[in-house]
């Protein structure tokens, strides 16, 4: 009977993994809101990897927001991504404690949050190139029909060689009508597009907005609206215009300033139609301002 059950069971049997035995866990590198992440080595090839184990209870709460939708898991999504500006996921599975886990390339570097906060010389010199790389990564996700939904400095790492990598795909969804329906307010408050906050229909342009907020912060160290921790405070300023970036940086190149401010438009139709268009503006400006780089 067991044999017949297994034969006709359509779900592939997933072998559970004891990550502590399978990998050599070296140090904890991050406490995300949804997971624990370890720097580890894979004894099968000695590769340095990041092992991300998702918190079961928190994941269950997140999944409740997608009830009735066929949302692929973070591991399923992340494993099909392949772009220099997107963290590579090597494998994924279920631990012996029934937690989802991902094994990723280990990215040694600084969080973009750190660079935004410190506004050090490295950040200032490379800002345009970081904005371009980030846009290329996001454009890759969009042309492959995904909506990231949580683009912000916390989810970006910059390597020692100044390569920008998007690292977190926990809220990413397919760009299909069912996932564009209004209602689901997941994301990070300060980076959420007005249509998402107001529970209107959404599309990939919510990511263009988050990208523009992120680039604004990368340039200035400030948010375009007063920082808001709660949805109530975000709702409060959703009707206020953003602070013009030139208030912080009067000498900022016009094309760069316009690229960012257009991405922050309240109405999605007034924003860049695609990430690629916004990136093209940055690229043109970069080539004009720094022809030798």
Binding site as annotated, residues:
52
3-class DSSP state for residue 19? helix
Binding flag, residue 168, ligand ATP (CB under 6 A) = yes
CA separation, residue 144 to residues 47, 88, 139, 178 (Å): 28, 15, 8, 17
Binding flag, residue 155, ligand ATP (CB under 6 A) = yes
Residue ranges with strand state E in the chain: 24-31, 35-42, 47-54, 89-94, 100-105, 109-111, 146-147, 156-159, 164-166, 173-174
Residues annotated in a binding site for ATP: 52
Whose tokens are 């279920």? That residue is 94
Binding flag, residue 50, ligand ATP (CB under 6 A) = yes
Binding flag, residue 265, ligand ATP (CB under 6 A) = no
Question: Contact region for ligand ATP (CB under 6 A) — 105-113, 116-124, 133-141, 238-246?
Answer: 105-113
Report the interhelical angle of 254-263 vs 205-220 (nearest 10°): 140
Provide the β-strand partners of residue 47. 42
Q: x/- binding map, residues 180-219, to ligand ATP, per CB under 6 A?
A: ----------------------------------------
Binding flag, residue 90, ligand ATP (CB under 6 A) = no
- Can you tell me the distance from the alpha carbon of 193 to that of 266, in angstroms, rounded to the nearest whole number? 7
Question: CB of 11: closest distance to ligand ATP in angstroms?
Answer: 26
Figure out which of the listed residues 33, 82, 96, 240 binds ligand ATP, where binding follows CB under 6 A: 33
Give the binding site for ligand ATP (CB under 6 A).
Answer: 29-30, 32-35, 37, 50, 52, 87, 104-107, 111, 154-155, 167-168, 170
């Amino acid at each position: 009977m067991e044999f017949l059950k297994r034969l006709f069971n359509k779900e592939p049997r997933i072998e559970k993994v004891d990550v502590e035995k399978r990998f050599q866990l070296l140090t904890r590198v991050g406490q995300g809101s949804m997971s624990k992440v370890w720097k580890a080595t894979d004894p099968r090839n000695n590769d340095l990897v990041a092992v991300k184990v998702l918190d079961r209870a928190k994941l269950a709460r997140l999944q409740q927001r997608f009830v009735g939708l066929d949302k692929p898991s973070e591991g399923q999504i992340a494993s099909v991504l392949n772009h220099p500006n997107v963290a590579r996921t090597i494998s994924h599975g279920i631990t012996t404690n029934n937690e989802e886990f991902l094994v990723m390339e280990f990215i040694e570097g600084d969080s973009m949050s750190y660079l935004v906060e410190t506004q050090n010389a490295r950040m200032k010199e490379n800002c345009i190139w970081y904005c371009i790389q980030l846009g290329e990564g996001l454009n890759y996700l969009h042309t492959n029909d995904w909506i990231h939904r949580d683009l912000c400095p916390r989810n970006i790492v910059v390597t020692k060689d100044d390569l920008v990598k998007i690292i977190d795909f926990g809220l990413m969804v397919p760009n299909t009508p069912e996932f564009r329906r209004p209602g689901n307010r997941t994301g990070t408050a300060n980076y959420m597009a007005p249509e998402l906050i107001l529970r209107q229909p959404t599309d990939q342009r919510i990511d263009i907005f988050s990208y523009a907020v992120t680039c604004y912060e990368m340039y200035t160290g400030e948010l375009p609206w007063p920082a808001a921790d709660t949805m109530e405070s975000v709702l409060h300023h959703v009707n206020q215009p953003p602070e013009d970036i030139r208030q912080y940086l009067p000498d900022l190149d016009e094309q760069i300033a316009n690229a960012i401010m257009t991405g922050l438009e309240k109405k999605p139709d007034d924003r860049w139609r695609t990430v690629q268009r916004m990136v093209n503006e940055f690229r043109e400006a970069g080539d004009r301002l720094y022809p030798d780089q």
